[in-house]
Amino acid sequence: MSARPGTVRARQQQLARWARRTPGYQATVQHVLPAVRRNATLTDLVWRVFMPQHGVGTLPVPFTGGRHVGGRDAALLPVVGVLALGLDHDEVERLVEQVADLQRCERSFRPLLVLDRPDFATARRHGYVVELVVPQQHWADHPQAGSRTEGAATSWSAYLGRRLADIVDHYQLWHLARVGPVGLDPLDLAVLRAIAPRLPATLEVSVPTEQPPGPPG
């Protein structure tokens, strides 16, 4: 019998707190581990022992991938950002349906919606995670350090670039697909359709018949 997720989480947090209080923890994290990671021989050894495969579908990335994929290996599916800016509500609705249809059909990716409008309910119906960026038309309304200190205010495009780099980095995106008013860009759609043949044949991914609940707010 396995422990409940909440219990497991509590134990993990307790263990983490204990580890952080252990003498030498900070030195280990700040100096020893980076040195080990920079050691080419050790890195190669670890890679050979623990990561015999490489490429899409071989590294687990914990992430809420939505209601349309499940199974043992769903966490191995790549996370794909879907960048949809400047759309109206109906266009977002159509886009999300397109992404969901593609995901059900391909079973090859997990989408992260990057929007500039809070269409949370639309995303929640499919269990998709949403990252929001400040819409360009509201940029001037947001408080800016530069405007008060007489320094150079951040441009919206510079802000967007930083946010997207941050999103790609933290969510370990395999690809960032762009979107127009009629849905996924045709080239990006082709890239997404090219994922499935690249996945390991042994991957167990299914389309759940009983849909699990979406992510909490």
Partner 1 sequence: MHVIIGVMPATPTVLLLSSNGAGMGHLTRLLAYGRRLPGQVHRHVLSLSQAVPAVEAEGLTWEYLPSQGASGLRPATWRALFADRVTEVLERVDPDVLVFDGTHPYSGLDVALARHPRTRAVWSRRGMWKPGRNGHQLQKAAWFDSVLEPTDLAAPADTGETADAEAVRVRPVTLLDREELSGRAEARAALGLPADGPLALVSLGAGNINDTDDEVGAAAAALTANGIGVCVTAPSIAERAYAGSDVHLVRHFPLSRHFRAFDHAVVAAGYNSFHETLRLGVPTLFVPNTATSLDDQAARARYADRRGWALAAPTLTDGRAPALVAELVERGPELAAQAQADDPGNGAADAAAELLRVAALPTRTGAAR
What separation in angstroms does the CA of 174 have from each of 63, 94, 98? 13, 23, 19
Among residues 13 and 39, whose Cβ is nearest to partner 1? Answer: 13
Length of the chain: 217
Query: In whole angstroms, how close is the CB of 108 to partner 1 at the nearest point?
Result: 18
Stretch that binds partner 1, among 24-32, 51-59, 158-166, 204-212 (CB under 8 A): 158-166
**Could you tell me the sign of the dihedral formed by the alpha carbons of 6, 172, 92, 157, in that order?**
positive
The site string for partner 1 over 68-107 (x = CB under 8 A, - otherwise) reads: ----------------------------------------
Query: In whole angstroms, how close is the CB of 166 to partner 1 at the nearest point?
Result: 6
Q: Check binding of 171 to partner 1 (CB under 8 A).
A: yes
Q: Say how far apart CA 113 and CA 37 lie, in whole Å.
A: 32
Query: In whole angstroms, how close is the CB of 182 to partner 1 at the nearest point?
Result: 26
**Nearest-10 crossing angle of helices 186-193, 89-106:** 20
Among residues 65 and 183, whose Cβ is nearest to partner 1? Answer: 65
The site string for partner 1 over 114-133 (x = CB under 8 A, - otherwise) reads: ----x-xx--x----xxxx-
- Alpha helical stretches, state H, 64-185: 89-106, 120-126, 145-149, 156-170
Q: Check binding of 164 to partner 1 (CB under 8 A).
A: no
Among residues 153 and 189, whose Cβ is nearest to partner 1? Answer: 153
Among residues 98 and 120, whose Cβ is nearest to partner 1? Answer: 120
Q: Say how far apart CA 178 and CA 188 lie, in whole Å.
A: 7
Produce one character per residue of 26-42: b if its CB has 16 or more CB atoms within 10 Å, e if not.
eeeeeeeeeeeeeeeee
Tell me which of 166, 194, 198, 208 binds partner 1, using CB under 8 A: 166
Q: Say how far apart CA 169 and CA 177 lie, in whole Å.
A: 15
Q: Check binding of 183 to partner 1 (CB under 8 A).
A: no
Question: What is the contact surface with partner 1 in residues (CB under 8 A)?
Answer: 12-13, 17, 62-65, 118, 120-121, 124, 129-132, 134, 138, 141-145, 148-149, 154, 159, 162-163, 166, 170-171, 215-217
